Amino acid sequence: MIFIDPPYWPAHGTVFSHLISDTSVAELHTFAAANGVSERAFDLDHYDVPERLYNALVEAGATPLSGKELARTLAASGLRIKAKYRVKSVASVLERRWQALMPGQANLGVELLGRWNEPHRSYHSATHLLAVLEALELLTERRVLRTVALAAWFHDAVYNGSATDEEGSAILAQACLEGVLPDTDVAEVARLVRLTATHSPAPGDDAGALLCDADLSILGAASEHYNRYVAGVRRDYTHVPDEEFTKGRAAVVLQLLTLDPLFRTAKGRELWAEQAQGNLSMELAHLNQIISEKKESSTP
C-alpha cells in the first residue's frame, strides 16, 4: 500500500509530506509517476511531496497517516534506508573530513560539496563520495595519501551523465588546486581523476589502484545495496531513453566483468571481488533478457 503523512515539513517556501510504500520501492515509483510526482523528489525510501499535491495523492489512493505512524510503517516494511546513506546526513561528516584534509581551504570545500549535492544526482552524490573515502580508509588502514583523497573528492565533482565528466573533473581539480598544492601534486590528482574513466591503472600504479578499487567498491556490496546503486544510476540517467540506457548499461557491465582483475589491490579482491562477480553477472543477465524481449516484440 501507499501511505502519506500530513504536509508539515517546511522547505522552499512551502511544507512537504512524505510518500511511502510498505510493499516495494517499485510500487512507490509507479504510484508517484502516475500522479505527477517528480523523480527528483525521491529520497532513497520516500518521496518529499509539496502540500499542493497532498489532496490529489490521497484521492489517488494514498492512505493518510500521522508522521509517527508513517515512520513506524516504513520501519516495519524493511524498506527504511539508514541515515548514513542520506545526502543530508553525510554533509557534516564530509565538512569535517575536508577541514582535516585541507585546512584553510573552507571555501573550496563548500564549492565541492555544493557540486556533490546537485539536485540532478542520485547515486553520484555526496553519499558516494563518503563511501569512496571510507573504502580508501579500509584499503589503507586509514593511511590515505592526500593526493589520493583529493582525487576522490574531485573524481565526480563534474557530473552530467556524459562521457566527458571525468575529464571535466580533472580540469576542475587542476584549476582549483593550482597555487594551493605543489605542481606535482596537482598533476597527480588530475591524473588519478582521469583514471576513473576506465578504472584501468597500469601495473605498479598503487595510488591509481587504490582510487579505482574504492570507486568500484559498491560492486562488491551486499545485493540489496547493489540493487539500490543500480536504481540510483538509472535515475542519474533519466535523460536517456530506456532502450538506449539498457544497451549502454549492458556494455558498461560487460566491460567491468572483463577487467582482469576487477580490483587491483589484494585487499580489494579479498573484500569485494567474489560478491562483485555475482552482482555484475546477475545484472548483465537481466539486462540481456530485457534486450532480447525487446527484439522479439519488435520482430514482425
Q: Which one of 28, 58, 81 terminates a domain?
A: 81
33/54 same-domain check: yes
In whole angstroms, give the CA distance from residue 171 to residue 161. Answer: 17
How many Å is the Cα radius of gyration of the chain?
A: 21
Range of the domain at 251: 220-298
Give the SS3 label for residue 245: helix
126/140 same-domain check: yes
With pLDDT > 90 as the criterion, what percentage of the chain qualifies? 74
Place 84 in a pLDDT band, splitting at 50, 70 and 90.
Answer: low
User: Grid coordinates representing 283?
Assistant: 545484472
On whether residue 213 sits in a domain, the answer given is no
On whether residue 115 sits in a domain, the answer given is yes
Tally of domains in the chain: 3
On whether residue 120 sits in a domain, the answer given is yes
In this structure, are residues 125 and 91 in contact, taking their beta carbons and an 8 Å threshold?
Answer: no
Q: Alpha-carbon dihedral of residues 210, 211, 213, 218, nearest 10 degrees?
A: 140
Distance of CA 8 to the CA centre of its chain: 28
66/111 same-domain check: no
On whether residue 215 sits in a domain, the answer given is no
91/76 same-domain check: no
Those residues whose C-beta lies under 8 Å from the C-beta of residue 145, and which sit 6 or more positions away, are 207
Query: Looking at the predicted structure, is the pLDDT value of residue 270 above 90?
Result: yes
Mind listing the pLDDT tens digit for each residue in 129-141? 999 999 999 999 9
Q: Which one of 208, 240, 275 terminates a domain?
A: 208
Give the SS3 label for residue 49: strand
pTM greater than 0.75: no
In this structure, are residues 57 and 35 in contact, taking their beta carbons and an 8 Å threshold?
Answer: yes
Mind listing the pLDDT tens digit for each residue in 181-218? 999 999 999 999 999 999 999 999 999 999 999 999 99
Q: Which one of 181, 208, 235 terminates a domain?
A: 208
On whether residue 214 sits in a domain, the answer given is no
